[in-house]
Chain A
Amino acid sequence: MSAIEVADLRKTYAGGVEALRGLSFAVRAGEVFALLGPNGAGKSTTVRILATLSAPTAGRARVAGFDVVEKPREVRRRIGYVAQASGVDVTATGRENLTLQGQLFRLSGAGLRGRVEELLHLFQLEAAADRPALTYSGGMRRRLDVAMGLIHRPEVLFLDEPTTGLDPESRSVMWKEVRRLAEGGLTLLLTTHYLEEADQLAQRLAIVDGGRIVAEGTPDDLKGRLRGDVISVELADRGRTAEAEAVLRGQEEVAGVMVDGTRLYAQVGHGARAVPSLLAVLEKAGLDVAQVSLSRPSLDDVYLTATGHAYRGEGEPASRPPTR
């Protein structure tokens, strides 16, 4: 059964900004699914609609079996929503934040107290439980955020950019939490603009670009669609890359070549077989090779092929070659 079904979802904001232009995907119950894309792609808008915070302009979405527009109350009872901007009340303590969240889900008494303790323990917030959240580190606040989303044992948890702005250590803690939640059978929809994060955490993912889904599948599937490997070559003589490019392009097994400074990237069907012959033709042409390496396609490459432009983090220009 699908825990989340999204069909041709569209959202146009007042002022005419088209955030979603017909987005469709489905998430199976118990699955970790990632929406991957740069800022402004429509990931947060999608999650906000699924969490009943925003109404779609057109299209349908069902979460935990209920339509988000027709049965928002049923949806809200079954979901946890962890927004990109923390929803923690910083003036309240961790325990108070959790308790209020539980009360609004109509939990009470010993059951609620026990659940609060359990979550404080699970997310290593016991020592800080009675301090105002204002004093928490970014990682602690994020953990509290996730704990709050889990207070009522939801069927579906939305994590909108769970690790944005976290230091590497807090990020790896968060990854561990996500993996543990996934083992518990929870359906998880996470958004991220980190390729690596989607690759590491998601069983399946969809690449969102310009309000549409441009590719969908398991990370391996998506990489597999880019048949073959990438051979990267660095010449000893930096002045002769153009010459080398022409030589490589002339080879039958080379599907494409990209040049980045003194490095050349050749896309080939079977890397291990192609390396010796390519080195041989370069040597025959009198081009000394300083370094050569072979890599499997990464999600960066998937992103490039799917969207036609290289993956950009915040504010970086799209000048990166398809492989590193």
Chain B
Amino acid sequence: MEFLRDTWHLFLRLIRVTMRMPVFVIISIVQPVLWVLLFGQLFKSVTTIPGFGASSYVQFLAPGISIMTALFGAAYSGMGLLADIDRGVLDRLLATPVSRGALIAGRILHASVQVVVQAAIILLVAFLLGARSHGGLTGVLAVFLAASLLAAAFAGFSNAVALIARRQELVIAAMNFVVLPSTFLSSMIMSRNLMPGWIRGVSRFNPVNWAVTAARDGFEGRAPSEMILYLSLLAGFALICGFLATRSFGRYRKAM
């Protein structure tokens, strides 16, 4: 109970921080829209490649960009924690009776909620460009759920890296190392049918691909079995990353 209350208060604090940076808010809205427009134009003709399996690239892209935004948004969540450490804010919080787990959970929740807002904007723009959720409302919710689970996982991972490395440069380097390869080892912008065999093989073990596939299955209104499998895997992955972050936080506190 106290854990939930503390998580909520700390989550609200992070939301306030975000809202107080209008430039940040505008960028995080415009950026994904730009992705949709840019990729949508750039790769328009790939749909004509035999075997791509989708008639409209925007239709194909909308769930993918939602996941990409979630990934990019959450991957640097640990930076905020480092800023709190540097400014003495974390010490101040730790000297209160606040639930220790809530200090991490609040950040993970913040990352997950933020990406749902972004995904909603992306789907809206895609809708205006002609994309439709063939899975109806469930399809849209599947995109949101996949995006927020992936964001939760990467926020946890990012916070764990931050607590172990304790340097912003290392967090950036480590996350860059993970983010782009995992993007291209998924069907985010390229149809699974056209991937080389080895990438298709690797992508089966890639949580980013799980999220993309689950989101796209939902959006396209496909049979839900694969979607449910991947969403469950994602939830498990998010739990592991959350656990990792909590453990790193415990280690960090002990080392003080």
Are B97 and A83 closer than 8 Å at their CB atoms? no
Tell me if B2 and A83 are in contact (CB < 8 A). Answer: no
Which residues from A are CB-within-8-Å of B91?
48, 53, 81, 83, 85, 87
A77 touches B13 (CB 8 A): no
Chain B positions within 8 Å of A87 at CB level: 87-89, 91-93
Does B6 lie at the interface of the complex (its beta carbon under 8 Å from any beta carbon of A)? Answer: yes
Complex: A259 Cα to B118 Cα, angstroms: 74
Task: Assess whether B25 is interfacial by the CB under 8 Å rule.
Answer: no
What is the distance, in angstroms, from B192's C-beta to the closest C-beta of chain A?
43
Residues of chain A within 8 A of B98, CB atoms compared: 104
Within 8 Å CB of A54, what residues of B? 256
Least distance between B40 CB and chain A CB atoms (Å): 35
The verdict on B94 contacting chain A, using a C-beta distance below 8 Å, is yes
**Docked pose: A96 CA to B15 CA in angstroms:** 12
With A14-B255, A53-B256 in contact, do A100 and B87 touch (Cβ < 8 Å)?
no
| Complex CA distance for A53 and B93, rounded to whole angstroms | 10
Chain A nearest CB from B202 CB (Å) reads 38
CB contacts (< 8 Å) of B9 on chain A: these are 100, 103-104
- Report yes or no: B2 in contact with A53, Cβ–Cβ below 8 A: no
B87, B97, B253, B255: the one contacting A104 at CB < 8 Å is: B97
Q: Are B87 and A76 touching (Cβ within 8 A)?
A: no
Q: A83 to chain B: which residues have CB within 8 Å?
A: 88, 91-92, 95
Question: Counting CB contacts under 8 A, is B26 at the interface?
Answer: no
Question: Once bound together, how far apart are the Cα atoms of A51 and B20, in whole Å?
Answer: 31
Does A198 reach chain B (CB closer than 8 Å)?
A: no
Whole-angstrom distance between the alpha carbons of A272 and B6 in the complex? 65
Chain B residues near A53 (CB-CB < 8 A): 91, 94-95, 253, 256
Please tell me if A24 contacts chain B, counting CB pairs below 8 Å. no
User: Does B225 touch A at the CB level, under 8 Å?
Assistant: no
B254 near A92 (CB under 8 angstroms)? no
Identify which of residues 3-20 in chain B touch chain A, using a CB-to-CB cut-off of 8 Å. 5-6, 9-10, 13, 16-17, 20
- Tell me if A76 and B20 are in contact (CB < 8 A): no
Contact residues, A63-91 vs B (CB, 8 A) = 73, 76-77, 79, 81, 83, 85-91
Q: Do A132 and B87 have beta carbons less than 8 Å apart?
A: no
Partner of B95, one of A55, A76, A89: A76
B201 vs chain A, min Cβ distance (A): 42
Q: Given the complex of chains A and B, what is the CA–CA distance between A96 and B12 in angstroms?
A: 11
Give the bracket for the number of chain A residues in contact with chain B.
Answer: 20 to 34
- CB of B45 within 8 Å of the partner chain: no
User: Which chain A residues (5-57) contact chain B, with CB distance < 8 Å?
Assistant: 14, 48, 51-55
Quick one: given A92-B17, A96-B16, are A52 and B95 in contact (CB under 8 Å)? yes
A148 CB within 8 Å of chain B: yes
Shortest Cβ distance from B92 into A: residue: A87
A284 interfacial by beta-carbon distance below 8 Å: no
CB-based nearest A residue for B255:
A14
Residue numbers in B under 8 Å from A90 (CB-CB): 87
Please give, as numbers and ranges, the residues of chain B lying within 8 Å of A101 by CB-CB distance.
Answer: 92, 96
CB distance from A51 to the nearest CB of B (A): 5
Residues of A147-169 at the interface with B, using a CB-CB cut-off of 8 Å, are: 148
A148 to B89, CA, bound (A): 12
Beta-carbon contact of A104 and B94 below 8 Å: no
For A76, give the chain B residue with the smallest CB separation: B97
Within 8 A of A (CB), among B83-138: 84, 87-89, 91-98
Task: Flag B11-45 by CB within 8 Å of A: 1 or 0 each.
Answer: 00100110011000000000000000000000000
A145 to chain B minimum Cβ distance, whole angstroms, is 8
Chain A CB count within 10 A is highest, among B6, B89, B95, for B95
**What is the CA–CA distance of A101 and B87 in the complex, to the nearest angstrom?**
16
The CA-CA distance from A101 to B92 in the complex, in Å, is 9
29 chain-A/chain-B pairs, Cβ below 8 angstroms: A14-B255, A48-B256, A52-B94, A53-B95, A55-B254, A55-B256, A77-B97, A81-B91, A81-B92, A83-B88, A83-B91, A83-B92, A85-B88, A86-B88, A87-B89, A87-B91, A89-B84, A89-B87, A91-B16, A91-B21, A92-B17, A96-B13, A100-B13, A101-B96, A103-B5, A103-B9, A104-B97, A132-B20, A148-B92
Chain A residues with a Cβ under 8 A of chain B: 14, 48, 51-55, 73, 76-77, 79, 81, 83, 85-92, 96, 100-101, 103-106, 132, 148
Known contacts A89-B89, A104-B9; 13 further A-B pairs (Cβ under 8 A):
A51-B95, A53-B94, A54-B256, A79-B95, A83-B91, A83-B95, A87-B93, A88-B92, A89-B87, A90-B87, A91-B21, A101-B92, A132-B20
Nearest 5 pairs of A and B residues by beta carbon: A87-B92, A81-B95, A85-B88, A104-B96, A104-B98
